[in-house]
Amino acid sequence: MNDPVLSPDGKFMWTGTEWIPAPPTGGNNIDMKDSVIGGDVVSNTTINNDPQVVTEAVIAALQQMGMLEAQRVPQAPPIPEIELPQSFNLGDHVEYHSPTNQRWLDRCRVIAINEDGTYKIEVPKTDLVEIKNAVVIGSAPGTIRPARLPFNVGDRVFVNWKNYGHYYPGKIMKENENHTFFIQFDDGDIEDNVEWGRIEVLNESSVEVQEYIAHDCEAEQELVEAFQVFDTNNTGTISAREYFRILTEIGDEPLQVEDVLEEFAELGIELDSEIDYRSLVKYMVASDSTESKNPLKPEVVIKDAFLENGVISGYAYDHPKLGEGIVNSSAVVSISFDERATARVETNNTIYVVGPTGWKVRPENHPFNSPFSVGQRVKVEWEGAWWDASVVKVETGSFFITYEGFDSSWDEWVGPSRIKPLS
């Protein structure tokens, strides 16, 4: 490899596309032994010089220093929406969106249908089966959806890489006996034993998907090229010693030497061990997701609900702080209803989920208070004549209808004065 091209003052290096800070060449270099450090900081454990293991240890060190997010809500790629049914039957196989695991769990089963329209389900874990007493149909944490068929070998997919919270495109190369998968990613990386709850359909014809992949590729390539400046032998790795220097001597806000040494020593990272910087880059790109930094409010299913004085009260299931029993919320921020009349009542700290019939006293804007329901055939006035139509959507004091025998360009919202039952 040719010698690096430096700026006249020796402070910057040309990568081929841009100038970056040059690595230190002397003077202020820290003289360190092959062990993590001599002196007062002593490591109790030394990890093997496996680049992947070392990389994971470095990621843990960066997390402890606050440079990377330790836990993140997965940033899902653009994926086709799964059609949600109006209801499930006893024994149906479903997926449960676990708020704790922050992903869909498969092989769940409906074991009871509650009086308020919610469901009791079995959620299999490694050593036990958990029972969720009151869940509703939906796509948010704490809800259930139809179980998808397992993926097949050869399928192109999006995978939540190492469950770190970011999805990358790849291909299923093998299905294991335990129904996990061996994945080869488009960038050459591989991962085995991937649960199908971490896999999504890859719709490569979607413009959104193409933009998602292109953004990741651009961000990864930029970081990889920066690391390649220090990878003089083109091995795909750099020494922990070199990365230590990058962290402590390069950039606008270098880290304190003592802090990095302490974290490296605590995790047993030897400075002459090798880091797989491509894996490190993938994690850095995943950590840079702004969407993943917004924590979700917990969702709590309640029954016998009613609104009074700006708060919601009722009987809660599995409240994260109060357990099961009667609750009175903090101030209500907003209320929304989905197409099944399931309510989401957002407060300052929590989102309360109320099933279609889970109200003790229904709110004024509850869809069931409407004289017309979705799918009902009605008469609608237009230009002084009454025409046959069907109700498509219902909102407070307004109805979205479609005229029978006419295309969708005639669909419109109408008020109570223009709609009446079909006689």
Return d(Cα 247, Cα 122) in angstroms, integer: 47
Task: State yes or no: pLDDT of 43 exceeds 50.
Answer: no
Task: State yes or no: pLDDT of 6 exceeds 70.
Answer: no
Query: In the structure encoding, which two tokens stand for residue 378, read together?
Result: 């009605």
163 or 316, greater pLDDT: 316
Return d(Cα 312, Cα 94) in angstroms, integer: 29
Q: Helix (H, G, I), strand (E, B), or coil: what is residue 177? A: coil
Assigned CATH class of 377-421: mainly beta
Which residues, other chains included, contact 49 with Cβ-Cβ below 8 Å and sequence gap of 6+? 270, 272, 273, 274
The residues spanned by each domain of the chain are 27-71+210-292, 156-205, 299-366, 377-421
Q: Domain 27-71+210-292 falls in which CATH fold?
A: Recoverin; domain 1 (1.10.238)
What pLDDT sits at residue 418?
Answer: 92
Averaged pLDDT for residues 278-287: 78
Residue 7's Cβ-side half-sphere holds a number of Cα atoms within 13 Å equal to 13
Averaged pLDDT for residues 113-117: 89
Whose tokens are 């843990």? That residue is 60
**What does the longest C-alpha to C-alpha distance in the chain come to?**
93
* 320: phi then psi, degrees, rounded to nearest 5: -60, -25
What mean pLDDT value characterizes the chain? 79
Give the right CATH number for 156-205 from 1.10.3720.10, 1.20.1560.10, 2.30.30.140, 3.90.1150.10.
2.30.30.140
Would strands 143-146 and 129-137 be described as parallel, antiparallel, or unpaired?
Answer: parallel
* 61: phi then psi, degrees, rounded to nearest 5: -65, -45
Averaged pLDDT for residues 330-336: 86
Looking at residue 195, the DSSP 8-state letter turns out to be -
Task: State yes or no: pLDDT of 391 exceeds 50.
Answer: yes
295, exposed or middle or buried, with CB in 10 Å at 0-12, 13-18, 19+? exposed
The most confident of the ranges 25-29, 250-254, 352-356 is: 352-356
Task: State yes or no: pLDDT of 164 exceeds 80.
Answer: no
Return d(Cα 314, Cα 358) in angstroms, integer: 9
* 50: phi then psi, degrees, rounded to nearest 5: -100, 115
